[in-house]
């Protein structure tokens, strides 16, 4: 930066929200002032912070900057608006107002990006400002930037990630300690890991929002939360986890977005969130506790994984600040960050079109010919069996089947038929298997 004008006027920052993340952002902005000035070529000035309750004490933010008039923050004339208040409205309107007033926007708002990302991309384009949202998915992990920029010359074929730390914490506890779902739910609750509406975590809704954002970026196709097939972890039992471990697998809540079709021509994409078994040697299998990781497959680059902290004030603030630096550099040096568009416009297909493998745990009659009947049921739907294991005898007779890859529709139809068969006393468990070639 030797020849850059160090006396450039400071970049003016306004912020909406001053909770855990906002406070960390303010702290890091202050702590790294000197470094940031070097990296940007100008200093930073925090000019306004919009909060719901001006009387709540805030650490590290001058009282004089606080206001409850959020609209005035959006229209403060700042170069960059940081939005860490969350929720759809008024966040969306405020962001759009700020963009129209010429501010670049850095947001950590996954709900908003999942619902209306495409509209925000279009607004950023129209008003010629930056829109960055690294913190909206997988917290501190640089993931959005690699997807938008590093892989811009490649063709992404699949994104598969552990993007909800709370459920990963719960599943890890069940796996490591043999705890059951109710116990780990209580632990997560006691530790304050659960959202105030726990359904957002355990029913997979938070993960589905992130899946929509990742799918939209990876496939340049409009994807919203409503497009994402979603199953939570509420039905995962101790027995499922033990069975997985016996076979050399571990159960994770996965967010998956992938191309479906031939290599030459895709038919569309499927975006889904559900628990799945993955082999212990898979890079995602070792992602424990509240960590997040996202596995990306691209045609030329091959397999990649990005791992790190998915939540927390400081990690999220680190991602926000990385975006702020990028947007600030454009203010000082000109230019604009990557735009996004949904130009590919692929069809978002039904979960039935996904290709996966099934694990099926059956309670069966113990009599000759049962295995043949069951094998026939799989074959009649074109589903090929990879492994069968018989367990127990008599009234305890069990059969565990792992299939080769097939369409979700065929696998589902097979299970429906199994449920109707006399030979099958009960379908004890069904789970998708991912991460095997």
Catalytic positions? 210
Please give the radius of gyration of the chain, using alpha carbons only, rounded to the nearest integer: 24
Cα-based distances in Å from 128 to 37, 98, 114: 24, 12, 22
Query: Minimum distance from CB of 305 to a second copy (Å)?
Result: 4
Listed ranges 142-150, 202-210, 361-369, 419-427: which one lies at the site for a second copy (CB under 8 A): 142-150
Residue 329, phi-psi category: left (phi > 0), alpha (psi -120 to 50), beta (remainder): alpha
| By CB under 8 A, residue 269 contacts a second copy | no
Query: Minimum distance from CB of 5 to a second copy (Å)?
Result: 13
Spell out the residues 6+ positions from residue 311 whose beta carbon is closer than 8 angstroms to its own.
139, 165, 290, 292
| By CB under 8 A, residue 140 contacts a second copy | yes
Cα-based distances in Å from 80 to 35, 100, 103, 325: 18, 12, 5, 10
398-403 and 266-279 beta bridge pairing: unpaired
Q: Which of 20, 67, 97, 150 binds a second copy (CB under 8 A)?
A: 150
Listed ranges 26-34, 94-102, 171-179, 229-237: which one lies at the site for a second copy (CB under 8 A): 26-34
| By CB under 8 A, residue 153 contacts a second copy | yes
| By CB under 8 A, residue 151 contacts a second copy | yes
Query: Minimum distance from CB of 379 to a second copy (Å)?
Result: 35
Please state, in angstroms and rounded to a whole number, the distance separating the CA atoms of residues 424 and 398: 9
| β-sheet bridge partners, residue 349 | none
Q: Which is nearer to a second copy, 321 or 415 (CB)?
A: 321
Please state, in angstroms and rounded to a whole number, the distance separating the CA atoms of residues 110 and 206: 8
| By CB under 8 A, residue 142 contacts a second copy | yes
The count of chain residues that interact with a second copy, using the rule CB under 8 A, is 68
Backbone angles phi, psi at 29, to 5 degrees: -55, -45
What do you get for the CA distance between the two ends of the chain, in Å?
Answer: 48
From residue 197 to residue 236, the character string flagging contacts with a second copy as x (rule: CB under 8 A) and all else as - is -----------------------x----------------
Contacts to a second copy from residues 299-328, by CB under 8 A: 299-309, 312, 314-315, 317-322, 324-326
Query: Minimum distance from CB of 74 to a second copy (Å)?
Result: 22
| By CB under 8 A, residue 154 contacts a second copy | yes
**Cβ of 85: how many Cβ atoms within 10 Å?**
24
| β-sheet bridge partners, residue 424 | 364
Please state, in angstroms and rounded to a whole number, the distance separating the CA atoms of residues 279 and 113: 32
Query: Minimum distance from CB of 331 to a second copy (Å)?
Result: 10
Query: Minimum distance from CB of 304 to a second copy (Å)?
Result: 4
| By CB under 8 A, residue 2 contacts a second copy | yes
Cα-based distances in Å from 231 to 123, 203, 238, 397: 33, 6, 18, 29
Local structure of 194: helix, strand or coil: coil
| By CB under 8 A, residue 39 contacts a second copy | yes
From residue 280 to residue 299, the character string flagging contacts with a second copy as x (rule: CB under 8 A) and all else as - is -x-x--x------x----xx
| By CB under 8 A, residue 134 contacts a second copy | yes
Local structure of 349: helix, strand or coil: coil
Judged by the rule CB under 8 A, the positions of this chain that interact with a second copy are: 1-4, 24, 28-29, 32, 35-36, 38-39, 122, 125-126, 134, 140-142, 145-146, 149-155, 220, 281, 283, 286, 293, 298-309, 312, 314-315, 317-322, 324-326, 329-330, 333-336, 338-339, 341, 343-344
């Amino acid at each position: 930066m030797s020849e850059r004008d160090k006396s450039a006027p400071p970049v003016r920052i306004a912020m909406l929200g001053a909770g855990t993340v906002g406070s960390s952002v303010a702290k890091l902005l202050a702590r790294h002032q000197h470094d940031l000035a070097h990296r940007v070529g100008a200093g930073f000035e925090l000019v306004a912070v919009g909060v719901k309750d001006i009387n709540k004490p805030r650490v590290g933010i001058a009282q004089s900057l606080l206001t409850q008039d959020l609209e005035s923050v959006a229209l403060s004339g700042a170069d960059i608006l940081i939005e860490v208040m969350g929720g759809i409205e008024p966040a969306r309107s405020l962001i759009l107002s700020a963009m129209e007033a010429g501010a670049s926007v850095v947001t950590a708002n996954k709900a908003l990006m999942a619902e209306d990302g495409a509209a925000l991309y279009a607004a950023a384009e129209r008003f010629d400002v930056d829109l960055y949202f690294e913190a909206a998915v997988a917290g501190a992990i640089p993931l959005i930037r690699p997807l938008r920029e590093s892989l811009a010359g490649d063709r992404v074929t699949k994104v598969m990630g552990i993007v909800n730390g709370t459920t990963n914490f719960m599943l890890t506890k069940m796996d490591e300690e043999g705890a059951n779902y109710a116990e780990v739910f209580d632990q997560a609750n006691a530790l304050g890991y659960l959202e105030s509406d726990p359904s957002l975590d355990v029913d997979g809704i938070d993960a589905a929002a992130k899946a929509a954002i990742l799918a939209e970026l990876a496939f340049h196709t409009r994807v919203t939360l409503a497009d994402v097939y979603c199953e939570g972890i509420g039905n995962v039992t101790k027995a499922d986890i033990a069975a997985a471990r016996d076979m050399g697998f571990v159960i994770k809540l996965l967010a998956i977005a992938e191309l479906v079709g031939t290599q030459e021509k895709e038919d569309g994409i499927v975006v889904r969130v559900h628990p799945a078994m993955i082999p212990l040697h898979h890079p995602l299998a070792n992602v424990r506790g509240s960590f997040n990781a996202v596995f990306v497959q691209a045609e030329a680059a091959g397999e990649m994984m990005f791992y790190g902290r998915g939540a927390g004030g400081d990690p999220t603030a680190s991602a926000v600040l990385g975006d702020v630096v990028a947007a600030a550099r454009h203010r000082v040096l000109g230019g604009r960050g990557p735009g996004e568009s949904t130009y590919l416009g692929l069809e978002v297909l039904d979960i039935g079109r996904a290709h996966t493998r099934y694990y099926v745990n059956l309670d069966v009659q113990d009599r000759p010919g049962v295995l043949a009947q069951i094998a026939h049921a799989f074959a009649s739907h074109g589903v090929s069996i990879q492994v069968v294991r018989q367990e127990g005898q008599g009234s305890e007779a069990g059969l565990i089947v792992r299939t080769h890859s097939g369409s979700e529709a065929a696998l589902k139809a097979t299970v429906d038929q199994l449920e109707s068969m006399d030979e099958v006393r009960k379908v004890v468990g069904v789970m998708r298997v991912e991460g095997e070639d």
